[in-house]
Structure 1
Amino acid sequence: MSSVKPDKQQQHDVFQAIADPTRRSLLQLLVDRELPVTTLTGHFPMSRTAVSKHLRILSEAGLVTERKVGRERRYRLEPEPLLELKRWLAFYDRYWDNKLDALKRLVESDES
């Protein structure tokens, strides 16, 4: 019998996590620095409990990590899961590039 536990499966995926504007704002605040939940709460018109719930969803998606420093919890952005979003959006970049190239060819052929 193996004593190895299966990896904890993410409870929220990246797409679910960033769907909420508050969570996107939290990620922006954490881009360059680690911040305590009390500082993050000061940026939003909601309770510390509500901000903590948003941070928990981001954490479950792997987008933030937390560490305890004294009596406070500090949060830091983990950008690697955003690569999944980047790859997904890259397909649509190619789609729009192709559409714009086709439009350019059409316009240029009409000018002749």
Structure 2
Amino acid sequence: MSGKFTFEVDRRYRQANKEALVAFLYWVVYLVLTSVVALGLGLNKPAEDIDFILGFPAWFFYSAGVVLVILCILPYFLVRFFYRDYSLDAEEPGADNVGESQGGRG
């Protein structure tokens, strides 16, 4: 039965899996960093001790505002160094098109 079907793994699958892993790890870093900052600044703090910045509680301003701005810069580097531009069209067996499509970064 094993000789009946032949399946050749497309080389783009490995790159796609790497990109998915990088995106997932980015999400985990964002979630953890936001949670740590929010809990570190606001957990078990009495209401009269809460500081406000631009009308927001300080824990919210830093966790949802500052962390967001900082982590909006990180995807630029992720796309620049980990992601590759490749064609999603079906390719002929044996052709290597990973990173060779128009505008590819190699």
Q: TM-score, normalised by structure 1?
A: 0.29
Larger radius of gyration: 2
Q: TM-score, normalised by structure 2?
A: 0.30
